[in-house]
């Protein structure tokens, strides 16, 4: 579970949130990425060794936790 000051975000409209993120790992999952709301422009799955270069800083915190870089 990730939370705290590092996951603070202020939206362009001024709304402020402190995100709480639960991280789960699965191996051998066979699923298709789907958008289920109006906030998603595009969804996709990537292997850890082929992630896009531009990643949200909060996602980097999740990846660091998952890969053991912090903690």
Query: What percent of the chain has pLDDT above 90?
Result: 11
Structural domain includes residue 36? no
Structural domain includes residue 68? yes
The rounded mean pLDDT for the chain is 79
pLDDT computed for residue 1 by the predictor:
67
CA 59 and chain centroid, separation: 4
Structural domain includes residue 1? no
The predicted-structure confidence for 7-26, as pLDDT tens digits, reads as follows 888 999 999 999 887 767 77
Residue 57, number of CB atoms within 10 A of its CB: 9
Domain of residue 56 covers 42-71
């Amino acid at each position: 579970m990730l939370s705290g000051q590092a996951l603070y975000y202020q939206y362009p409209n001024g709304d402020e949130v402190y995100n709480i993120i639960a991280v789960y790992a699965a191996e051998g999952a066979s699923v298709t990425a789907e958008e289920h709301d109006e906030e998603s422009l595009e969804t996709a799955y990537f292997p850890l060794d082929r992630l896009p270069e531009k990643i949200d800083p909060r996602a980097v915190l999740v990846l660091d936790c998952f890969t053991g870089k912090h903690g």
